[in-house]
Copies of this chain bind each other. A is one copy, B any other.
């Protein structure tokens, strides 16, 4: 069993407030999983009863709208935690998490986390600040969804993918999403998304080559 104190998640998440002893306790009760690309970590409505630490890989957090469309709210990458809100609220998870790449995750039961939560002030403060950050992000995102055009939202989404996940050696976006998934992030129909990508391509804002997307004109994308 790997020790939590060397784990990347410990470096970047709320867990950085845990001390050696707590990390040891956690290492003893955690369960590790390999999640294959396309597989769910959990689905909306499930009782998760713990949090997931993302040791490697990226997943999408999404929710089905009443119309049956999948809206992607956020991509979450290695080093981050999943399920904090649900744990605090003591409710089923509100979103589904599905792997976009093969992933390594660890599950830590709620009882354990709540123990740290009560015993370690800095840890609970970190969790809360993380949730507060999510709330701010969600509010800002909401304003964009409500007030910006699909074209603007697509440009922003591409820039966000660039900033969050960077590029391959050939400068193309590292994160690999289907057109349908990009549309799910933007909140539009897949065909509209494809059409706008083609338009961006024609106008030199981006370059398309197969599934690869390369951002070209950052200024135009930003000022859209």
CB of A11 within 8 Å of the partner chain = no
- What distance in Å separates the Cβ of A147 from its nearest Cβ neighbour in chain B? 4
Min CB–CB distance A68 → chain B (angstroms): 9
| A204: interface (CB < 8 Å) | no
Q: Which of A14-22, A24-32, A126-134 contacts B (4 or more CB under 8 A)?
A: A126-134
With A128-B128, A147-B65, A187-B145 as contacts: A136 and B94 at CB distance below 8 Å:
yes
Interface residues of A in 135-171 (CB under 8 A from B): 135-136, 138-148
Determine chain A's interface SS by DSSP, over half rule: helix
Out of B73, B135, B136, B139, which one reaches A143, CB within 8 Å? Answer: B73
Q: If the complex has contacts A85-B132, A88-B132, are A142 and B65 also in contact, measured as CB distance less than 8 A?
A: no
Residue of B nearest to A86 (CB): B132
Residues of B within 8 A of A67 (CB): 147-148
Q: Does A118 contact B (CB under 8 A)?
A: yes
9 CB < 8 A contacts A-B: A65-B146, A71-B143, A71-B147, A89-B132, A128-B128, A131-B132, A131-B135, A138-B142, A146-B187
